[in-house]
Every structure is written in C-alpha cells, then in structure tokens.
C-alpha cells in the first residue's frame, strides 16, 4: 500500500540505488571473471592440489568465489526490489508495520524493508 508521506527525496533514493546497483553489477562481473580464471587455472594445474602446503586449494578458492558471487547476485535482487518500491511509492515504508523507515536507516541500508522496531531480534 503506498504511503501518504514518501521519503523527502525519492529522486535521491533512486540515484543512490541506481549507483549502488551499477557498482554491484561491476563487482559481480569481476567475481565471474575471477571464477573463470580459477576454473581455467584448475585445468592447467596438478589435479592433486589438496595437499599443497603453500595455500588454499583450487576447490576452496572456487567455492569462495562462487559464494561471493551468489551473495552479490542476491544484493542485486534486493536493490531491484528497492527500486520497484520506489516506483510503487512504497520505498521507505516498513513491510511489517507499514510505518516510515527512518531516513538514517535508509541511508545506512538503502535496501531496508523494515523499520528498526520490526527488525528481527
């Protein structure tokens, strides 16, 4: 349900979210490139890297990059959802109690969906 008193500057919110999305997409592209490099390196390396005393295994590095990429893709989805709330006029409204989310919380967490009172304990 759209709120009667949207945040004072939806244009600012949209600009912040759009910039955050662009930088997050760049991060995801870099992670995907790193993942390709790790996979390519594993093809050219000793298949038994599990006993390398010098550092992390290729499998560990690949899993770590994959986890970071999943987290980054999830962040993009959260940003897209926040942009849809801006379009719908519901950005800055708590999804639980429908009260305004404080501006300070939105500055710190632009994709926040709940007010401070409704954040899970």
Tokens of 25: 């997409």
Which residues, listed in sequence order, are joined to residue 99 by a DSSP beta bridge?
Answer: none
Domain presence at residue 84: yes
Q: Does 1 fall in a domain?
A: no
- Residue in 115, 88, 89, 84 with CA at minimum distance from that of residue 102: 115
Number of folded domains that form the chain: 1
Domain of 73?
Answer: 10-91
Can you tell me whether residue 50 is helix, strand or coil? helix
117 within domain boundaries: no
Q: SS3 for 89?
A: coil
Tell me: the pLDDT tens digits for 38-50? Answer: 877 766 655 555 5
Model pLDDT for residues 10-53, shown as the tens digit of each residue: 888 999 999 999 999 999 999 999 888 887 776 665 555 555 55
Closest CA to 111 of 71, 70, 73, 83: 83
61 within domain boundaries: yes
Please name every residue paired with 26 in a beta bridge, in sequence order, or none if there are none.
none
Q: Is the dihedral of CA 48, 54, 58, 59 positive or negative?
A: positive
Residue 16 forms part of a structural domain: yes
pTM of the model: 0.78
**Tokens read off for 55:** 């550092």
Q: Has residue 31 been placed in a domain?
A: yes
Per-residue pLDDT reduced to its tens digit, 67-83: 999 999 999 999 999 99
């Amino acid at each position: 349900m759209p709120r009667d008193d949207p945040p004072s500057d939806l244009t600012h919110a949209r600009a912040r979210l759009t910039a955050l999305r662009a930088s997050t997409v760049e991060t995801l592209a870099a992670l995907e490139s790193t993942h390709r490099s790790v996979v390519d390196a594993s093809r050219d390396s000793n298949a038994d890297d599990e006993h390398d005393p010098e550092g992390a295994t290729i499998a560990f590095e690949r899993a770590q990059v994959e986890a970071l990429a999943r987290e980054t893709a999830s962040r993009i989805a959260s940003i897209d959802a926040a942009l849809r709330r801006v379009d719908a006029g519901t950005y800055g409204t708590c999804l639980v109690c429908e009260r305004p989310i404080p501006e300070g919380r939105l500055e710190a967490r632009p994709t926040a969906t709940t007010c401070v009172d409704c954040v899970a304990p």
